[in-house]
Amino acid sequence: MQEKQKINIVWFRNDLRVRDQISLSTALDQEHPVVGVYCFQPKHFEVTSYGFKKTEKFRAKFLIETLQNLQKNLQQINVPLWVDHQQIQDLFTQINQAFDIQNIFYQTEWTSEEMEEEELIRKALPKVYLISQYNQFLFHPEDIPFEEFNQIPEVYTHFRKACEKKSKVRAEIPLPIPQQHQIEIPTSPIPLLSDLGFSDFKTHPDAAFPFQGGEDQAWQRLTHYFWEPKKLQYYKKTRNGLLGTDYSSKFSAWLANGSISAVSIYHQVKQFEKEIKKNQDTYWLIFELIWRDYFKYISLKHGNKIFQLGGILQRDYNWNFHPKALADWISGNTPEPFVNANMIEIAKTGFMSNRGRQNVNSFWAKEWKQDWRAGAAYFEAMLIDYDVHSNWGNWMYNSGVGNDPRDRKFNIKSQAERYDKNNKYQNTWLQEKLF
């Protein structure tokens, strides 16, 4: 009987890139050949108790495009990517039947579903070492000025100021050197949308996020936004826009699935400040990257409380849940035209501005007093740029059970008048028919 070839695996989840990729770089430093693995798990595409899929078509398509690009970029360093659509433990068992897996390198995750996945692999492959490292932060956990995660402040400003004063952003991890030999794996086609239960579709002509997935696309976007029209120097002034592709950086979707790292973006901002201009606008993009970090640290501190009705504050509000209210909110059938326009936009495009997200959240949770978790779950399903920490952190924040020390409630009519003075945004989407 021929001895199986020993390999190391890089298990990709939300770190779908080659540049600044610590798991990949670490694995390639080991003695055995490296194989990349990605699993489309059926549970991620199942219908939830709310009546929509956990991942809907927009993010599914973006993910497929991302993996096509990752596969191409890995080929350039002689690393094959094994992709399949099945239970995670079954996939790793199948790979271990073909090869002798020595180590599995992957990005550290800490929310419950991700940790359950790790446990399934441990049980399936008890003799294999699982090695995880943090690689999704701007400020690495070893570099923040708090000895324990339970010391993370409950107010963003306190966290930001402490990190800005005492922490440094690490250098990018260099691009990996190619493996000497291409290791052969069984044919591993990336699933089509139809394999995941969706029909193909065309991007809406008015979509504020008409971009494709993948590391190459992320860097093309950065080049455009920073270095061509140099929009970065106006970021703070335009970031509350509602229409068009350039009112904000639009990095969020690529950040969410790890096609580009916060560290890479930070160093590009610093280069822009050195070569072009340094002002409040350039700083504000870093400010927003720190917000992203903050919600990750809040979930590290509080664990599953971010998914609970009382949130991290464990507040006992009198929440309601009416399926008709959810259907009306989703379909843009509320008394607020600004809310309706935003809800139609997300239904048609899988994207919504930051300003819109705050308003529809406030309406759902504070005007209608409906269970905020239903709204967060809908965003999880629909958003191209869904990130577990930012999504649930922001929903807690705007629902009064999170990190907003002032517990604000949005005056939606006033917001519409301020940010959509001529009704251009509302007119664009209210003319659309949803169902």
279: pLDDT strictly greater than 60: yes
Query: 432: pLDDT confidence band, cut at 50, 70 and 90?
Result: confident
93: pLDDT strictly greater than 90: yes
What are the backbone dihedrals phi and psi of residue 341, each rounded to the nearest 5 degrees, phi first?
Answer: -60, -45
Q: What is the pLDDT of residue 404?
A: 84
Query: 373: pLDDT confidence band, cut at 50, 70 and 90?
Result: very high
H helices of 31-108, in order, are: 57-75, 88-98
1: pLDDT strictly greater than 70: no
pLDDT tens digits along 138-188: 999 999 999 999 999 999 999 999 999 999 999 999 999 999 888 999 988
Q: What is the pLDDT of residue 27?
A: 97
Query: 407: pLDDT confidence band, cut at 50, 70 and 90?
Result: confident
Share of the chain above pLDDT 70, in %: 99
* Cβ atoms < 10 Å from Cβ of 225: 22
240: pLDDT strictly greater than 90: yes
80: pLDDT strictly greater than 90: yes
Q: What is the pLDDT of residue 147?
A: 95
250: pLDDT strictly greater than 70: yes
Q: What is the pLDDT of residue 316?
A: 87
Mean pLDDT of the chain: 96
296: pLDDT strictly greater than 90: yes
58: pLDDT strictly greater than 70: yes
Q: List the single range of 211-220, 278-287, 403-412 with lowest mean pLDDT.
A: 403-412
396: pLDDT strictly greater than 90: yes
Q: How far apart are CA 284 and CA 310, in angstroms?
A: 31
What count of Cα atoms within 13 Å lies in the side-chain half-sphere of residue 226?
23
With CA atoms as reference, report the closest residue to 366 among 418, 299, 304, 415: 415
408: pLDDT strictly greater than 90: no
Query: 274: pLDDT confidence band, cut at 50, 70 and 90?
Result: very high
Q: What is the pLDDT of residue 434?
A: 64
Share of the chain above pLDDT 90, in %: 94
Q: What average pLDDT score do residues 391-399 get?
A: 97
Query: 224: buried, middle or exposed (CB in 10 Å: 19+, 13-18, 0-12)?
Result: middle
435: pLDDT strictly greater than 60: no
Q: How far apart are CA 359 and CA 368, in angstroms?
A: 12
Contacts of 299 (CB under 8 A, 6+ apart): 110, 111, 306, 388, 389, 392, 393
Domains and CATH numbers, the chain: 7-135 (3.40.50.620), 138-169+215-303 (1.25.40.80), 308-430 (1.10.579.10)
